[in-house]
Chain A
Amino acid sequence: DQQVKQNSPSLSVQEGRISILNCDYTNSMFDYFLWYKKYPAEGPTFLISISSIKDKNEDGRFTVFLNKSAKHLSLHIVPSQPGDSAVYFCAAYAPSGTYKYIFGTGTRLKVLA
């Protein structure tokens, strides 16, 4: 039972354009969401997060949007750079319950120069 889904295993985008990575969840108890970036042979590193009381959070070129009614979040990267090429994982958890992150299966982003 996959509570957090990333339905696109891969995405290719031209340098300078927008990258949009999507994530869907099923558990309405989730109230905190995070995106992690992972390069080969390294551990995932935190990128950006959003609480369920917000619908948008920005950090430089990265913006996360949350649509609670649709149980959907997305990560926008503008403009995309070759160094953004990595696997992106979304994660969700309910701080009021446990501290268990539930991760999606990841989306491999390739930014073409």
Chain B
Amino acid sequence: DAGVIQSPRHEVTEMGQEVTLRCKPISGHDYLFWYRQTMMRGLELLIYFNNNVPIDDSGMPEDRFSAKMPNASFSTLKIQPSEPRDSAVYFCASKWSRGNTQYFGPGTRLTVL
């Protein structure tokens, strides 16, 4: 059974460019979470969805960040324009409403030059 799938695994871009990260949650899971991992702050929750609806985006750092979930099997996190301080590993996770455990994807390592 496939876990959470993220693409790309690595992304290198130049400052000012648009970046789109993609996530496919585990089938049947109705919660989806986007996290960012940095050395200083560890794992930070950016936004989460329930049944494709954004519930809490208070962790989104700036208006340059946006996330969508057009259907139950796909979500995107977009950064436009990107800046060097956005360099981090971005994780997507999903969970079933009746469970307590979130399942993480392998992450996307973003480098903004």
Contacts and interface: CB of A to CB of B under 8 A. Distances in A.
Interface of A: 32, 34, 36, 41-46, 49, 89, 91, 95, 98-106
Contacts of A36: 104
- B: contact size bracket: 20 to 34
| Most chain B beta carbons < 10 A, residue from A49, A95, A101 | A101
Given A43-B105, A98-B55, A89 B100 contact: no
Contact of B106 (A34, A41, A46, A105): A41
25 contacts: A32-B100, A36-B104, A41-B106, A41-B107, A43-B91, A43-B104, A43-B105, A43-B106, A44-B104, A49-B100, A89-B42, A91-B43, A98-B55, A99-B31, A99-B48, A99-B55, A99-B95, A100-B48, A100-B56, A101-B33, A102-B45, A103-B43, A103-B44, A105-B41, A106-B43
